[in-house]
Amino acid sequence: MTRSSFLERLEGASRANVATASRRTSVTYPEQFSYSLRNSIGPSTAEQVADLLCRDGEVPVWIDLTLTGYDLNYSYFNIRYSSRFEIDERWLRYKSAGHPPFQLMMSTPWPESKIR
């Protein structure tokens, strides 16, 4: 997978996650995104995530993308990912979600989980 394709899928999955959360909560979440990887590395931009997870065309076979909070400027995501990396897209999971290898996890932050 190319780096640009990875970034497109990350952005698309992030937008889809925010849209789903907005429908569930009637909250308008910011469309600027910040990411933490495995609860330890972050905050990171999409570019930094691509630098870490897109390695010579190989990407994790699955990536869980969970919306965890928001503030006035950013929607915050936690990223967990497989330790197995693959160059062949046939092995990527979550194709039905439309953004393989990303799975949209539903830990919807309600208004009280707003980061102040």
pLDDT in tens, 34-47: 999 875 767 789 99
Whether 3 shows a pLDDT value over 90: the answer reads yes
pLDDT for residue 25: 86
Beta-sheet pairing, 63-70 with 102-105:
parallel
pLDDT for residue 64: 92
CA distance 17 to 15: 5
State the helix-helix crossing angle for 46-53 and 3-25, rounded to 10 degrees. Answer: 130
pLDDT in tens, 70-105: 999 999 999 999 999 988 777 787 776 767 788 777
Domain boundaries, the chain: 3-113
